[in-house]
Amino acid sequence: MIAASGNRPRGRWLAILVLVVALGSTAPVVAQQATDPPASDLLNAVLWMQRSVEYKASALTAFALARIRLDQALADPNWTGAPKEQAGAYQSLPTAVILDIDETILDNSGYQAWMALKGTTFDPKTWNAYVNTVTSLPIPGALEFAQYADSKGVKVFYVTNRTAEEEPATRKNLEKFGFPMGGTADTMLMTRKQPDWGSAKGTRRTHVARNYRVLLNVGDNFGDFVDEYRGGEAERLKVLEQHKDRWGREWIMIANPSYGSFESAPFGHDFKLPEGEKRKLKRGALDAWPGP
């Protein structure tokens, strides 16, 4: 009885020691998991936009081509970058170009980077707060192209899905860098600025085409050029093919891997779906090698 009683404290202390060692060995793993950065689909896209020379070279290439096409368009009175919206004897109209703003002439990757680091998603309130900081920078080549067009007597129109409420901050941001602002003409065509100016841009392109011969359209998203951008992949490819002779001629696309209708097409542009479901549908849209 004495021997058995004497073994109990040793057994109890041994069990405690094993527990302490076990907890100590898992603590670093738990701590490491707690400090892991949040996963974000934006990470590589924003890293490419902010740090790669390839992105800068791509944008410079696009705007160098736009300058060449602008000169060609000025020499050809039948040239128009708004084939659906341009009507009547447009050949005698003064000339214009249409530029999207976000990720076409202004770089908002700071907002995208914030979302990636915080593990959050787009929200109109945080986006509005970002716009009001007036800190977006020009996309490489964009300012020089806009100024070149202006020097040729070409009116520069900004057709953007920033809201009418965001116009003052947007105007201030553009003016800060010297983008041409149109003089007495209102060249800031924001969404909801007029009742029929929704997110589809056709009505605003028509607004410009009534009084100007549109030479070029420059954007980063399919919807900057056509209103049929909300379909599935097959429908979008069909529309792309219908206009295949315009790409690189009247229509210049700026690379934007961080967001746009390309991303929402796999989940039917239904932004109310849970993030996990949207990611699942995006993964399902990939054509993957089956592996070895």
290 pLDDT exceeds 90? yes
Look at residue 46 in the predicted model and tell me its pLDDT. 97
Cα(211)–Cα(93) distance, integer angstroms:
6
What residue type is assigned to position 288 of the chain?
A: A
pLDDT grade for 87, boundaries at 50, 70 and 90: very high
Secondary structure letter of residue 247 according to DSSP? B
10 pLDDT exceeds 90? no
Look at residue 18 in the predicted model and tell me its pLDDT. 47
Reported as a single tens digit per residue, the pLDDT across 127-161 is 999 999 999 999 999 999 999 999 999 999 999 99
Reported as a single tens digit per residue, the pLDDT across 268-279 is 999 999 989 999
Reported as a single tens digit per residue, the pLDDT across 37-46 is 778 889 999 9
Q: Tell me what percent of the residues of the chain surpass a pLDDT of 70.
A: 88
Cα(261)–Cα(259) distance, integer angstroms:
7
164 pLDDT exceeds 70? yes
What residue type is assigned to position 198 of the chain?
A: G
Look at residue 38 in the predicted model and tell me its pLDDT. 76
Look at residue 101 in the predicted model and tell me its pLDDT. 98
Look at residue 20 in the predicted model and tell me its pLDDT. 46
The separation between CA 30 and the C-alpha centre of its own chain, rounded to angstroms, equals 36
86 pLDDT exceeds 50? yes
15 pLDDT exceeds 70? no
Look at residue 1 in the predicted model and tell me its pLDDT. 42
Look at residue 36 in the predicted model and tell me its pLDDT. 78
Look at residue 39 in the predicted model and tell me its pLDDT. 82
* Adjacent-strand bridge partners of 251: 217, 247
The separation between CA 6 and the C-alpha centre of its own chain, rounded to angstroms, equals 73
Residues sharing a CB contact under 8 Å with residue 128, sequence separation 6 or more, in sequence order: 165, 166
Which domains are delineated in the chain?
43-267 (3.40.50.1000)
H helix runs in the chain, sequence order: 2-35, 43-51, 53-75, 109-118, 124-131, 142-151, 167-177, 202-209, 233-242, 261-264, 275-284
- Could you tell me which residue, 106 or 32, shows the higher pLDDT? 106
Question: The pTM is what?
Answer: 0.86
211 pLDDT exceeds 50? yes
6 pLDDT exceeds 70? no
Residues sharing a CB contact under 8 Å with residue 85, sequence separation 6 or more, in sequence order: 202, 205, 206, 208, 209, 214
